[in-house]
Chain A
Amino acid sequence: MNRRMILNTVGKMLLAEGLFLLLPALTALIYGEAKGLIALLITVGIALLSGGMMCGLAKPKSAVIYAKEGFFIVSASWILLSLVGALPFTISGEIPNYIDAVFETVSGLTTTGASILTDVEAMSHGMLFWRSFTHWIGGMGVLVFVMAILPNVSERSIHILRAEAPGPVVGKLVPRLKDTARLLYVIYIALTALLTVLLLAGGMSPFDSLIHAFGTAGTGGFGVRADSIASYSPYLQWVITVFMLIFGVNFNLYYLILVRRFKTALKSSEFWAYVTIVLLATGGVAVSIWGQYGSAEETVRHAAFQVSSIVTTTGFATTDFNLWPQFAKGILLLLMFIGGCAGATAGGFKVSRIVILFKQIRRELQKMLHPRSVKTLRFEGHQLEEQTTRGVLSYLALYLICFLVIFLFVSADSFGDFETHFSSTASCFNNVGPGFAGVGPTANFASYSLLSKLVLSAGMLLGRLEIIPLLIFFSPSSWKK
């Protein structure tokens, strides 16, 4: 195992985090928040120093890495990123307990948006900015960012991209990995900027616009108000609805549109499955909640917003959907598990995997009727490798096992009932944010015990990195020589 290369890359990632932290520090400076500024600058120092030391001391002899190193780099990076990212909250005293701060940071980086804060509005601007900025960083992936800006990390960085980027198949947009990473970030930044402008145009304050743009782009869900998006105008709610959906689509599609290959873009079966799911779910919810709100527009707006928010695993809310009828809540719970498209910033099981699963099931059924039939599966215009289908099936098993184990741990908590535990596990594991009952959109995760918070943090990381990198990182056999 190329340990030096692992340390070196993780060090580079810490340097990147140090640079990212300068932005909230600037915010704290603008708003004159001395305490926050000091806390952030101390963390910048820690990140730059430790990152610099790791890069300086571990000069790799060779840049050759394999799949295993890729998993290790990604796991170690995300864990360190969370531990360092939590420091400002504790140092400034705004989240005194470090475990709470870690939960909040993991929730940010994994774009979950579950919070332990009982009073968001009391937080300083610098901390709020950092909290939401972690969404934006974590959404596209911090290692993808490192690849985009640094001169050749390794010729085999594809292993890092595969480990960090969500979805069953990870491909490049253009021949060079570095250019692919850059393109992804360019699209990401452009869409975020567009959203910010649209929010500003709707009368949102510049600070709020940025926060909500970060929360939407990363499909995270941290906001600045206790009632999330509920008190903003209908225009703003519609804008956020549309953009949540946009960020839930595979970014490859935007690249195809960028290079004017509209036909290929429109042929994406994952995209159409995603659209169908959103439309059906919105319809179902609207019917279920009909009559609860004043006008038809309001009903459809709330239905569409909540559906988009949950399916893209963002977690914003315009109304307390915990008070909705069981059927509507049932649909939302289902959407949590589906999640967005692969190659987007969204979490969950991913629409592409579900499409592949259904194709596989149909083939199995056909095999029952015609035992000798031979059928190859096709997905997005290409033949599906058996390896990919098998990968999806084993991922499903792994996903269910992990879910149940986390659920079991959380159930041991003295706080809350079955609905709370089940929905909080589903919500954290799928990187959504709010759940139902005790962790509904108006409540928060503060009442959970520290152990449960740690377990849920681990669940969020497992969900974001799609289990396998962390599983390999923590299994003793992969550390043996």
Chain B
Amino acid sequence: MKIIVVGCGKIGTALIESLIAEGHELVAVDRSPAVLENVTNIYDVMSACGNGTDWDLLTEINTEDADLFIAVTDSDELNMLSCFLAKRLGAKHTVARIRNPEHNDGSLDFLRNQLELSLVINPERLVARELYNMLKLPSAARVETFSGRGLEMIELKLKNESILDGVSLIELRKKYPYKFLIGMVQREDEVFIPDGNFRLKSGDKISVIATSAEIQKFLKSVGLLQKQVRSVMILGASDTAYYLTKMLLNSGNSVKVLDKNEERCRVFSQSLPGAIVLCGDGAQQELLLEEGLEETDAFVALTGMVEQNVLVSYFAASHKVPKVISKVNRDEFSPLAEQLGLESVVSPRKTVANILVRYARALENSLDSSVETLYKLVNGKAEALEFIVHEDAAVCHVPLKDLALKDNILIAGITRNRKSVIPSGADEILPGDKVLILAAGYRINNLSDILE
């Protein structure tokens, strides 16, 4: 597909990176020649320098042939206008980043319809949603939800002396008779989909798939369940913090927000009077302790500076805050942060890239299925995908044990009539089902890709 990306900031380059890896043809547009030079040096894309709302520029890069037009500059208005122009010029689908809270209320649907946008992305809100899910289940390093809301996938890190150390999956299943599945194991840099004889080891990261009730039971019985988060401290009164605070307040948590900037603090407390807003330097340990860092259930670092997020999170973790999450804007720092012992890291770049990769795959989807949800895991080495099965798909009406699956592919869940199950070998896939697939080392476009 031909894809145009306007705006090559952090989000823009993350999109370019993952869409190039998907094999699409990309044109990058940005106002700064220096930024473009860097982008064309690293990725195989064509570049055009200028404003995304410039008609001359849009015609020069043949916007009329574009299958997908994505505007992710830092200005919502520019994004909307250039998507509108692109649509009028003949681009098939348009995606705009609209992140200002003012646009993200009732007016969003109106805007989307009037501008004929195919998709609106709000990285801040997406990240806030992800953070919220992580806070809801503090035991897990990450939580991924799927469209049916039936199944969840959580990532657990097995600490030293974990009671699961050395246990094989068959023994695990005998010992804990819940309906769950260990879908994926990451050991050092390798990822695999384990079979029954696989033995877990301390230090492994495992992905557990189950309905959320079963996950709670499982965590409880292996002694990993942490108590529910009730109070959260957030560093940085950013847009992400705004959305997160709103969600947390709505579910009855108490939230403290810290920011250095007085003006930002004022605006924040105006829009969310329920939160306690503190104006002060979050790097001051004294202030954090004074405000009860040690009593809080969770600490979330959301400033624009990765270094500060990581360091302050480290400080919070050393004060035994049960759940610490830091936002890491640069992908290359995530592994470093994890090495420092910070388990939970969110990256806005990845979150947005996941959404658009899924969207692009759904656009070029074939007849047998369409992608509903997609998560790239472990730096893109593995994927979790949810497909809607269409009529005539080759996988239908065959017991799963008789399907000739490729190696390192797992059918991890089937959702039928809003009921989600972890399938056994005798189950069959039927048209209309939502099927959850785990794949390590492949790119799955269609459901038929899982077959040999």
Contacts and interface: CB of A to CB of B under 8 A. Distances in A.
Interface in B360-407: none
Interface in B23-77: 25-27, 33, 40-46, 49, 60, 62
A157 B27 CA distance: 17
Contacts of A264: 60
B410 interface: no
B41 A155 contact: no
A4 interface: no
Given A175-B25, A176-B25, A156 B41 contact: yes
A158 B40 contact: yes
Nearest to B46: A175
Nearest to A179: B25
Interface string A167-186: 00001101111110000000
Contacts of B217: none
Contacts of A159: 41
Interface string A54-92: 000000000000110000000000000000000000000
A375 interface: no
A158 B46 contact: no
B33 A176 contact: no
A179 B26 CA distance: 12
A175 B43 CA distance: 10
B41 A175 contact: no
B44 A155 contact: yes
Contact of B26 (A66, A175, A259, A382): A175
A184 to B, nearest CB: 14
Q: Which of B20, B26, B45, B46 has the most CB of A within 10 A?
A: B46
Contacts of A364: none
Nearest to A259: B62
Nearest to B3: A175
Given A155-B20, A264-B60, A382-B49, A174 B43 contact: no
Interface range, B side? 10 to 19
A419 interface: no
Contacts of A174: 25, 46
Contact of B42 (A156, A172, A176): A156
Contacts of A177: 44
A383 B51 CA distance: 13
Contacts of B199: none
Q: Is chain A's interface secondary structure helix, strand, loop, or mixed overall?
A: loop
Nearest to A382: B49
B246 interface: no
Interface residues of A, number: 20
A178 B23 CA distance: 12
Q: Which of A158, A175, A177, A385 has the most CB of B within 10 A?
A: A175
A405 B434 CA distance: 73
B2 interface: yes
A160 B245 CA distance: 50
A383 B40 CA distance: 18
Contact of A157 (B20, B44, B45, B46): B44
Contact of A175 (B27, B33, B42, B60): B27
Given A155-B20, A382-B49, A385-B33, A176 B44 contact: yes
A176 B20 CA distance: 10
Nearest to B49: A382
A158 B49 contact: no
A159 B46 CA distance: 14
Nearest to A65: B41
A175 B49 contact: no
A158 B41 contact: yes
Interface string B428-440: 0000000000000
Interface string A143-168: 00000000000011111000000000
A155 B16 CA distance: 13
A171 B44 CA distance: 12
A481 B141 CA distance: 41
Nearest to B42: A156
B70 to A, nearest CB: 14
B37 to A, nearest CB: 9
Interface string B9-28: 00000000000100001110
Given A159-B41, A175-B26, 18 more contacts: A66-B41, A155-B42, A155-B43, A157-B44, A158-B41, A158-B44, A171-B46, A174-B25, A175-B2, A175-B46, A176-B25, A176-B44, A177-B44, A178-B44, A179-B25, A259-B62, A264-B60, A383-B49
Interface of B: 2, 20, 25-27, 33, 40-46, 49, 60, 62
Please give me the 7 A-B residue pairs with the lowest Cβ-Cβ distance, nearest first. Answer: A175-B25, A175-B46, A172-B46, A155-B44, A177-B44, A175-B26, A175-B27
8 contacts: A155-B42, A156-B41, A159-B41, A171-B46, A172-B46, A175-B27, A175-B44, A383-B49
